[in-house]
Amino acid sequence: MATDKNAELFERARALIPGGVNSPVRAFRAVGGTPRFIERAQGAYFWDADGQRYIDYIGSWGPMILGHGHPRVVEAVQQAVRDGFSFGAPTEREIELAEEIARHLPSVEMVRLVSSGTEAAMSAIRLARGATGRNRIIKFEGCYHGHADALLVKAGSGLATFGHPTSAGVPAEVVQHTLVLEYNNIAQLEEAFATHGADLACVIIEAIAGNMNFVRASVPFMQRCRELCTQHGALLVFDEVMTGFRVGLTGAQGVYARALPGFAPDMTVLGKVIGGGMPLAAFGGPRTLMEKLAPLGPVYQAGTLSGNPVATACGLATLREIAQPGFYEALGQKTRALVDGLQAAAAESGVAFSGDCEGGMFGFFLLPQLPHNYAQVMRSDAARFGKLFHGLLDRGVYIAPALYEAGFVSSAHSDDDIARTVQAAREVFRTLA
**Active-site hit among 272, 328, 334, 404:** 272
| HEC assignment per residue over the chain | CCCCHHHHHHHHHHHHCHHHCCCHHHHCCCCCCCCCCEEEEEECEEEECCCCEEEECCCCCCCCCCCECCHHHHHHHHHHHHHCCCCCCCCHHHHHHHHHHHHHCCCCCEEEEECCHHHHHHHHHHHHHHHHCCCEEEEECCCCCCCCHHHCECCCCHHHHHCCCECCCCCHHHCCCEEEECCCCHHHHHHHHHHHHHHEEEEEECCEECCCCCEECCHHHHHHHHHHHHHHCCEEEEEECCCCCCCCCCHHHHHHHHHCCCCCCCEEEECHHHHECECCEEEEECHHHHCCECCCCCECCCCCCCCCHHHHHHHHHHHHHHCCCCHHHHHHHHHHHHHHHHHHHHHHCCCCCEEEEECCEEEEECCCCCCCCHHHHCCCCHHHHHHHHHHHHHCCEECCCCCCCCEECCCCCCHHHHHHHHHHHHHHHHHHC
**Active-site hit among 45, 54, 57, 144:** 144
- Angle, helices 309-322 vs 71-83, to 10°: value is 160
**Active-site hit among 56, 239, 266, 356:** 239
415 is known as an active-site residue: no
272 is known as an active-site residue: yes
239 is known as an active-site residue: yes
Question: Looking at the annotation, which residues are catalytic?
Answer: 144, 239, 272
